[in-house]
């Protein structure tokens, strides 16, 4: 029986220095998937690498061997010298634990910022690579597809993704609630605190249309402007900018408010009352709180944003519980499928044996009765096929059901003995070479039967 193993490290287990190495390795061109043919214990493999985590998902027959192989790959890929003990940073999840971990990662429950959507895209990329290198087959194909649908379920059935938990996220979300699409909006940055920089970066990443920087020291303003591809405006004149910009992020070190009630009020008419959104990250505050009283002007200071975040965190805790419930459900479904896989070879060889017997007997009968017309031959084919199908139906259902149990091996064994599957399979092998013992052929067989029956009925 093969095992699913997930081995890796992430922001939860590895310190910054190691993660920095990950980030470097993240940009490498070489994909460790090409090493798969050299790993004797590993059957299938998917490799996920982001700046905050690197994970190998693989299947193997021998747990110890597979883990040893993959650890070696990890070491070489990340480029850690042998002297560094990585074992303490690495987590290894086996079977259902691995499935659970993968589902958690895909649904962004294991991320640094819970609910951020990037990780799913990265996982999809990882899967695409694995498909390209042909390192994902029956089990991992199914598992990855399942993880995508789990992530989708979590996203649609909980609002884990819609609650922002960092200041810049919260600011962008609020801007979305005010402006809708923020892509054609413009941002004015007053002052150049670190937090404001973060927020500005986030806005830029969300695709705001134009950015302007105003700072007391022009040098710093230009530095920032170069980084954000922004324009600069002199600090005494930034109030004029209020006529055109939509979002203002301010973080000056001023002791007095730099944006006063009258400053904004007098400019609203010229703005034709288009909404104006102040994000005031500075302490003491840059924007007079009374500005919030003006129509179509919204002022959020750092405490307000923190309030939004706290609110979201609470919400997110509840949502995370719901999400985990969804994940647990999906794990059970996947487990059933995995167990069902155990019965597949037995079922397939049972069907094959029956089919071979049928073909043999048909051949004999037809050679003895050459006078049969095509129609009669067809009828006999249908008859024999349906006898087999009906006869095997109950045992197959039984096996599929028992496959969910832990004692499935006993049942499989028993069935194989009962139908004498192992020996006869060998004896008849060469006659029907095209039917390989793969889980797929069971399904193909079914489809064949169906089409056969349909054509016969005509």
Partner 1 sequence: MATLCYLSGTVGYLVYLFRDREQLHRISWTILLVGALLHGIALLMRTVDSGHLPLTTIQESLSMFAWVFVVTYLVLQIRLQLRILGSFVSPLAVVFMLSSSLLPSHIILKNESFRSGWVIVHVASLFLANAMFALAFSLGVMYLLQERYIKKKNFGFLYERLPSLERIDSIAHYCLMSGFPLMTAGLITGFAYAAVVWHSPWSWDPKEILSLVTWIIYAVLVHERLAVGWRGRRAAWLSILGFSATLLTFVAASLLLSGHHSVLSGKM
- Which residues are catalytically annotated? 51
Q: What contacts 372, CB < 8 A, 6 or more positions away? A: 366, 380
**Which stretch in 156-164, 214-222, 337-345, 407-415 sits in contact with partner 1 by CB under 8 A?**
156-164
Burial 20-35 (b: 16+ CB within 10 A, else e): ebbeebbeeeebbbeb
Using the rule CB under 8 A, which residue among 80, 178, 326, 456 binds partner 1? 178
Q: How far apart are CA 15 and CA 4, in angstroms?
A: 26
Pairing of strands 53-60, 42-49: antiparallel
Name the residue nearer to partner 1 (CB basis): 180 or 253: 180
Contact between 365 and partner 1 per CB under 8 A: no
Name the residue nearer to partner 1 (CB basis): 134 or 177: 177
Q: How far is the CB of 272 from partner 1 (least distance, A)?
A: 3
Contact between 174 and partner 1 per CB under 8 A: yes
DSSP output for 327-351: HHHHHHHHHHHHHHHHHHHHHHHHH
DSSP output for 227-260: HHT-EEEEGGGHHHHTTT-SEEEE----SS-SB-
**Per-position x/- string for 263-282, each x denoting binding to partner 1 as judged by CB under 8 A, each - no binding:** ------x-xxxxx-------
What letter would DSSP give residue 111?
A: S
**Per-position x/- string for 310-329, each x denoting binding to partner 1 as judged by CB under 8 A, each - no binding:** -x------------------
Which run of H or E residues covers position 158? none
**Which stretch in 91-99, 118-126, 307-315, 439-447 sits in contact with partner 1 by CB under 8 A?**
307-315
Name the residue nearer to partner 1 (CB basis): 297 or 350: 297
3-class DSSP state for residue 184?
coil
State residue 114 phi and psi, 5-degree precision.
-60, 130
Q: How far is the CB of 183 from partner 1 (least distance, A)?
A: 12
What letter would DSSP give residue 287?
A: B
Q: Please classify residue 52 by burial: count the beta carbons closer than 10 Å to its beta carbon, then call 0-12 exposed, 13-18 middle and 19+ buried.
A: buried
Q: How far is the CB of 293 from partner 1 (least distance, A)?
A: 9
State residue 57 phi and psi, 5-degree precision.
-115, 125
Using the rule CB under 8 A, which residue among 133, 235, 298, 411 binds partner 1? 298
Q: How far is the CB of 178 from partner 1 (least distance, A)?
A: 5
Using the rule CB under 8 A, which residue among 15, 79, 307, 427 binds partner 1? 307
Which run of H or E residues covers position 306? helix 302-368
Size of the site for partner 1 (CB under 8 A): 24
Contact between 292 and partner 1 per CB under 8 A: yes
Contact between 179 and partner 1 per CB under 8 A: yes
3-class DSSP state for residue 100?
helix
58 to 77, contacts with partner 1 by CB under 8 A?
none
Name the residue nearer to partner 1 (CB basis): 203 or 334: 203
User: Residue 273 corresponds to which tokens in the numbers above?
Assistant: 């009352």
Q: How far is the CB of 137 from partner 1 (least distance, A)?
A: 34
Contact between 149 and partner 1 per CB under 8 A: no
180 to 199, contacts with partner 1 by CB under 8 A?
180
Q: How far is the CB of 282 from partner 1 (least distance, A)?
A: 18
Residue ranges in contact with partner 1 by CB under 8 A = 156, 159, 162, 174, 176-180, 269, 271-275, 292, 295-296, 298, 300, 304, 307-308, 311
């Amino acid at each position: 029986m093969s095992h699913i193993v997930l081995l890796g490290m992430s922001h939860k287990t590895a310190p910054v220095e190691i993660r920095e190495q990950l980030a470097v390795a993240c940009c490498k061109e070489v994909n460790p998937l090409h090493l798969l043919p050299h790993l004797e214990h590993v059957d299938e493999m998917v490799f996920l690498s982001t700046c905050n985590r690197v994970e190998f998902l693989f299947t193997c027959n021998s747990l110890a061997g597979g883990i040893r192989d993959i650890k070696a790959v990890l070491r070489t890929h990340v480029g850690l010298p042998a002297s560094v003990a990585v074992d303490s940073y690495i987590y290894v999840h086996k079977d259902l634990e691995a499935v659970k971990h993968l589902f958690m990662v895909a649904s962004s429950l294991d991320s640094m910022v819970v609910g951020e959507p990037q990780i799913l895209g990265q996982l999809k990329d990882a899967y695409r690579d694995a498909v390209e290198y042909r390192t994902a087959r029956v089990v991992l194909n199914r598992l990855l597809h399942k993880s995508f649908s789990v992530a989708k379920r979590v996203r649609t059935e909980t609002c884990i993704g819609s609650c922002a938990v960092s200041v810049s996220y919260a600011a962008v979300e609020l801007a979305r609630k005010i402006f809708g699409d923020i892509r054609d909006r413009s941002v004015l940055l007053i002052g150049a605190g670190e937090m404001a920089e973060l927020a500005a970066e986030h806005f830029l990443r969300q695709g705001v249309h134009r950015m302007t920087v105003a700072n007391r020291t022009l040098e710093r303003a230009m530095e920032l402007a170069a980084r954000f591809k922004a324009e600069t405006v002199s600090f005494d004149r930034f109030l004029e900018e209020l006529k055109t910009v939509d979002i203002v992020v301010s973080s000056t070190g001023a002791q007095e408010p730099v944006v006063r009630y009258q400053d904004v009020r007098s400019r609203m008419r010229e703005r034709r009352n288009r909404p104006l959104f102040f994000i005031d990250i500075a302490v003491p505050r840059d924007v007079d709180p009374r500005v919030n009283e003006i129509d179509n002007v919204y002022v959020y200071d750092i405490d307000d944003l923190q309030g939004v975040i706290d609110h979201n965190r609470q919400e997110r805790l509840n949502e995370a519980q719901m999400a985990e419930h969804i994940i647990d459900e999906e794990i059970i479904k996947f487990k059933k499928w995995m167990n069902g896989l155990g019965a597949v070879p037995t079922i397939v060889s049972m069907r094959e044996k029956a089919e071979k017997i049928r073909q043999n007997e048909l051949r004999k009968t037809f050679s003895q009765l050459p006078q049969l017309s095509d129609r009669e031959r067809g009828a006999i084919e249908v008859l024999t096929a349906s006898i087999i199908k009906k006869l095997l139906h109950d045992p197959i259902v039984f096996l599929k059901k028992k496959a969910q149990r832990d004692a499935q091996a006993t049942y499989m064994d028993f069935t194989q003995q009962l139908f004498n599957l192992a020996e006869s399979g060998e004896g008849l092998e060469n006659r029907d070479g095209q039917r390989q013992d793969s889980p797929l052929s069971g399904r193909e067989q079914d489809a064949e039967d169906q089409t056969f029956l349909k054509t016969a009925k005509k």
